[in-house]
Amino acid sequence: MSSRVDASSDGENQRDEEESPEKSIWLNAHLDPMACLYTFSTSISLADLNADSDYKLLVADLGTGTFDMKLKVFKGTSLYMESAIIDLPIALVSFYMDTNDPRTPAIAVASGPFIYVYKNLRPYFKFTLPPLSVNAVEQDLWNQAKEDKIDVHVLIEMLESLKNEGSEGMLSVRSLKLLSLQPEEVESFANVHKHTTLKRQTVITCMGTMKKSVADDDAVSCLVIGTESKDVYVLDPEAFTVLAKMSLPSVPVFISVNGLFDVEFRIVVACRDGKVYTLKRGSKMAKACIELAAQAVGLERTGKSIIVGCMDNTLQCYSTKGKKLWTVYLPSNILTMSLMDHKARGFKAVMVALSNGEVRIYKEKYLVNTIKMSDAVTALKFGRFGREDSALILITKGGGLFVKILKRTATFEGKDLTPGPPPAQSIKLNVPKKTKLFVDQTLRERDSASGMHRTFQHDLYLLRLMSARSYVSALQKSLNPISSSATEPLKLSAQVQGIGPAFKLTVNLQNISSSVPSSKLLITFQFDDSLYALSKPCIFVPLLVPGLMYAYETLVECISDKGISDVIKVFVLHQGNSIPVITAVINMPVSEALVIV
C-alpha cells in the first residue's frame, strides 16, 4: 500500500518538473488565448480605478481595426466594464486630474484629434486639439467654389497642384478627402461641404503624462501629446487648456516624459524622420540628439539613458546627450517595448517583444530573462495588477491575454552575451622570470644582430647550393628509383628479408609507361665483396609488360663476422649502355652471428 503511494507521488513530482522545464521565474496567473484583444503597449495601462488598491487593467481595444473599438477594463481575470470608442484609439493613459478623495485616477484615450477623458468609468470630458490655420490659397479656392466662380474639377486640379507643391500636410482633411474620392462622388461631396467654414485639424500620434508640481505617485499630472502637425502640447489637467506648445522638425511617434512641469522636465520623442529629439522646459524648438540608422519601433528611458528599439533588429542605448552607449543585436523584429520598473526591488529593465514570440528582458545590455510565448506579443505592461505588485500583462497578436506574476524568489542574473574577447583572454599567464642566460642572449642578439643575420644567410646559401648540386648529380647518375626518361619509364623498389648471415634481396621492377614495353634490361649490384657474396650478381630481365610488377630475387650472404654492414646498390641497366637507367641504394642490416645448432 505504502509503496503504491510512493510511486504515485514520484510520478506527480516528475509531472511537476515537466511543467516547469527551466525553473521559470514567472508564475502563470491567467491565460486567455481567446480574449480577442487588438492593442499595443501604448494603449494599455494599470490603475487603481476605485482607490481600493485592487488595480484594474485598462485596454483601448482597436476592435477589428475599423469598427468595434472599445475601452475595456479588467478586474482580476474577468472583464469588469467596456465602453465603445468612436474612432481608433491611439494611446491610453491613466492620470490623476484632481486632488479629490478618494484618489481615483482618470483615464484618457486619444483618438483622432480628440482626447476622451473618463472619470469613475464614465465619460467626463472631450478635449479637441486647437484648430490650425488654413492655407490661404486653399481657403481662397473653397471660397471661390462656394460662390460658384470655379467648378469642382478646377477646384480638384488646383488642390492637387497645391498638394504636389509639398504642402500635403498643410491641407485640411476636407481637401484631402475630396482628392481621394472617385470622380462620380466629388460633385456631391463638394456641394455638401463647400458652405461650411474650412477648418484644419491635426491628429494625435502619441501621448504621455507628466506630473505637474509634485512627484508623488498620485500627484496631479498633465497630459503630453504629440501631433501629426509636428507639435507637442502639454495640457492642464483640470482646465484642459494648453499649458505649453513646442514644435518638432518631424512627426513624433514615441514619447517619453520625465520631470515636473512646474520645475524642470525633459521630453524625449522619436520622430518619423528617424531621429530622436529632446525638449526641455522653456524650449520652443526641439534639439536633435540622436540620429538613428533605422526607424524607431519603441522608446524607453531608464535613469540617464534612452533606449531605442529599431527596425534593423537592434536595441540601442544612448546617453541623454546623445552619445551611443551600447547596441544589442536581436534575432528577430521588435514588435513592442516596455519598461519593467520593479519598485520594491529597485530593479529597472526594458522588455522587448520579438516577432518570434520571445519577450526578452534586458537590464542594461545584459539579457536577464527570456519568456517564450506561443504567439508574438504586441502589448506589454509590467506593474501592479489586482493586489499583485509584480504582474506582467502580455497581449498577443492573436488577441490572447496572458498575465504572469514574478515569483517572490526570482533573481535576475545577466550575462554579457555580446560577442567580444573571450574571458580566457584576460587571464594572466604564469610567465617565468627572465634568467641571466636569457638576458645575456638578448644582449648578444641586440649587439651583433647584423653579423648573426649574415652568418645565417651564408649558411642558408650553402645549403641551397649543396642540395642543388646533389640533385643535379642524382639526375646525371640516375640515382633515383624512378626513371623519368621518356624511353624507359621504370620504377624500382627493393627490400631485404632475413636476419643474416643469409639474406634475401627482392627487387621489384615495374614499367610505368602506359603502353610501351621495355626490353633488354638487366639488374646488377654493386657491393663490397669482402662483406657480401651474392648468388646472382647479374639478372637478365625479360620484356616488361607495362603496369605489371616483376619481382627478382637474389640471396645475399654476409661473409664477414665483424658485425658491420654496408650498402648494396642496385642498378637497372640497358644492355650496351654503362649509365644506369635507375638506381636504388639498400642499407643492409647488421648480420646476426652464425648460430650453429
8 Å CB contact between 247 and 199? no
Selected from 14, 20, 28, 519, the binder of other proteins by CB under 8 A is: 28
To other proteins, the closest distance from the beta carbon of 46 in angstroms equals: 12
Q: How far apart are CA 583 and CA 271, in angstroms?
A: 86
Q: Sign (positive/negative) of CA torsion 570, 573, 578, 584? A: negative
Of 345, 408, 350, nearest to 380 by C-alpha is: 350
Amino acid at 106: A
Amino acid at 581: V
Residue 44 interacting with other proteins (CB under 8 A): no
Q: How far apart are CA 336 and CA 299, in angstroms?
A: 9
**Closer by beta carbon to other proteins, 17 or else 561:** 17
**Closer by beta carbon to other proteins, 105 or else 386:** 386
Determine which helix (DSSP H) or strand (DSSP E) holds 187, and give its type and residue range. Answer: helix 183-193
Span near other proteins by CB under 8 A; candidates 26-34, 235-243, 298-306, 321-329: 26-34
Selected from 62, 403, 494, 523, the binder of other proteins by CB under 8 A is: 403
| Residues in contact with 181: Cβ distance below 8 Å, sequence separation at least 6, in sequence order | 189
Selected from 29, 79, 479, 534, the binder of other proteins by CB under 8 A is: 29
Residue 334 interacting with other proteins (CB under 8 A): no
Beta strands 401-406 and 334-342 are: unpaired
Amino acid at 407: K
Q: How far apart are CA 234 and CA 236, in angstroms?
A: 7
What are the beta bridge partners of residue 132? 200
Of 92, 81, 56, 85, nearest to 70 by C-alpha is: 85
Q: How far apart are CA 310 and CA 326, in angstroms?
A: 13
Q: How far apart are CA 60 and CA 112, in angstroms?
A: 14
Burial of 174 (0-12, 13-18, 19+ CB in 10 A): buried
Residue 387 interacting with other proteins (CB under 8 A): yes
CA triple 39-222-292, angle to 5 deg: 60
To other proteins, the closest distance from the beta carbon of 48 in angstroms equals: 13
Residue 1 interacting with other proteins (CB under 8 A): no
8 Å CB contact between 228 and 203? yes
Residue span 66-95 as binding mask against other proteins, x where in contact by CB under 8 A, dash where not = ----------xxx-----------------
Sheet containing strand 70-75, edge to edge, reads: 44-47, 56-61, 70-75, 78-84
Selected from 268, 292, 405, 521, the binder of other proteins by CB under 8 A is: 405
To other proteins, the closest distance from the beta carbon of 390 in angstroms equals: 8
Selected from 32, 312, 341, 389, the binder of other proteins by CB under 8 A is: 389
Of 179, 193, 198, nearest to 132 by C-alpha is: 198
Span near other proteins by CB under 8 A; candidates 22-30, 152-160, 162-170, 542-550: 22-30
**Closer by beta carbon to other proteins, 337 or else 391:** 391
What are the beta bridge partners of residue 113? none
Q: How far apart are CA 127 and CA 531, in angstroms?
A: 121
Residue 344 interacting with other proteins (CB under 8 A): yes
**Closer by beta carbon to other proteins, 386 or else 501:** 386
**Closer by beta carbon to other proteins, 77 or else 128:** 77
**Closer by beta carbon to other proteins, 147 or else 216:** 216
| Residues in contact with 71: Cβ distance below 8 Å, sequence separation at least 6, in sequence order | 58, 59, 60, 61, 82, 83, 84, 85, 89, 92, 107, 109, 118
Residue span 211-250 as binding mask against other proteins, x where in contact by CB under 8 A, dash where not = ----------------------------------------
Selected from 63, 105, 252, 386, the binder of other proteins by CB under 8 A is: 386
Selected from 7, 9, 99, 264, the binder of other proteins by CB under 8 A is: 9
Span near other proteins by CB under 8 A; candidates 216-224, 268-276, 330-338, 405-413: 405-413
To other proteins, the closest distance from the beta carbon of 74 in angstroms equals: 10
Sites for other proteins among residues 535-594 (CB under 8 A)? none
Selected from 30, 72, 230, 301, the binder of other proteins by CB under 8 A is: 30
Sites for other proteins among residues 408-427 (CB under 8 A)? 408
| Residues in contact with 16: Cβ distance below 8 Å, sequence separation at least 6, in sequence order | none
To other proteins, the closest distance from the beta carbon of 372 in angstroms equals: 18
To other proteins, the closest distance from the beta carbon of 402 in angstroms equals: 12
To other proteins, the closest distance from the beta carbon of 386 in angstroms equals: 5
Q: Which cell numbers in the block locate residue 80?
A: 469588469
Burial of 512 (0-12, 13-18, 19+ CB in 10 A): middle
Residue 504 interacting with other proteins (CB under 8 A): no
To other proteins, the closest distance from the beta carbon of 330 in angstroms equals: 30
Selected from 24, 25, 27, 181, the binder of other proteins by CB under 8 A is: 27
Selected from 5, 424, 437, 596, the binder of other proteins by CB under 8 A is: 5
Of 219, 201, 416, nearest to 326 by C-alpha is: 416
Task: Please tell me the count of residues contacting other proteins according to CB under 8 A.
Answer: 23
Determine which helix (DSSP H) or strand (DSSP E) holds 450, and give its type and residue range. Answer: helix 449-476
**Closer by beta carbon to other proteins, 121 or else 401:** 401
To other proteins, the closest distance from the beta carbon of 72 in angstroms equals: 16
Q: How far apart are CA 332 and CA 198, in angstroms?
A: 46
Sheet containing strand 366-372, edge to edge, reads: 334-342, 347-354, 358-363, 366-372
Residue span 346-385 as binding mask against other proteins, x where in contact by CB under 8 A, dash where not = ---------------------------------------x
Residue 388 interacting with other proteins (CB under 8 A): yes
**Closer by beta carbon to other proteins, 53 or else 241:** 53
The three-class DSSP label of residue 427 is coil
Span near other proteins by CB under 8 A; candidates 5-13, 85-93, 156-164, 306-314: 5-13
Q: Which cell numbers in the block locate residue 428?
A: 594572466
The three-class DSSP label of residue 551 is strand
Selected from 4, 16, 430, 514, the binder of other proteins by CB under 8 A is: 16
Helices (H) and strands (E) in the chain, counts: 7, 36
Tell me which residues touch other proteins (CB under 8 A). 5, 9, 12, 16, 27-30, 53, 76-78, 344, 385-389, 391, 403, 405, 407-408
